[in-house]
Amino acid sequence: MINTETTIRFSPMYRLQWEEAQQKFVILYPEGMVELNQSSAEILKLCDGSRALPAIVAELEQKFATSGLTNDVTNFLNVALQNGWIQHD
């Protein structure tokens, strides 16, 4: 489960990349690929080892001039953690 204290980073076992031909971000791994929607990609781009959950939420809320994103972001990051795309430092 995602905790609120430790910073989160994208796993070195995966690659997050913009695909020009598909006009979307994708996650690449051995012999596979996951296509991301825009909000998932925005969340994962902030998983760079410098932020914990509250800072990620704050940054997204500021960027999209909105509030109340904590639940959605937490839910997605839990899925991402389960899939091994991200890890806690």
Partner 1 sequence: MAGSNTINITSPRWLLAELSYKCPLQCPYCSNPLDYAKYPNELSTEDWKRVLSQARKMGAVQLGFSGGEPLTRQDLPELVRYARELGYYSNLITSGYGLTEDKIIELKQAGLDHIQVSIQASSQELNDHLAGTTTYQHKQEVARLVKKHGYPMVLCVVIHRQNIHQMPEILAMAESLGADYLELANTQYYGWAHINRDALLPTREQFAEAEKIAQAFKEKVAGKMKIYYVVPDYYEDRPKACMNGWATTFLTIAPDGTALPCHSARELPGLDCPNVNDFSIEQIWNESKAFNFFRGTDWMQEPCRSCDEKHKDFGGCRCQAFLFNGDAASTDPVCSKSPERHRIDAAINSARELALSADEKPLVFRNSKNSKQF
What is the Cα–Cα distance from 3 to 21, expressed in whole angstroms?
36
Judged by CB under 8 A, the stretch of 16-24, 36-44, 55-63, 69-77 that binds partner 1 is 16-24
Contact between residue 1 and residue 72 where contact means Cβ atoms under 8 Å apart: no
What is the Cα–Cα distance from 64 to 53, expressed in whole angstroms?
17
Does 79 help bind partner 1 (rule: CB under 8 A)?
no
Total residues in contact with partner 1, by rule CB under 8 A: 16
Does 65 help bind partner 1 (rule: CB under 8 A)?
no
Q: Note the residues at the interface with partner 1 (CB under 8 A).
A: 12-13, 15, 17, 19, 21-22, 26, 28-33, 82, 84
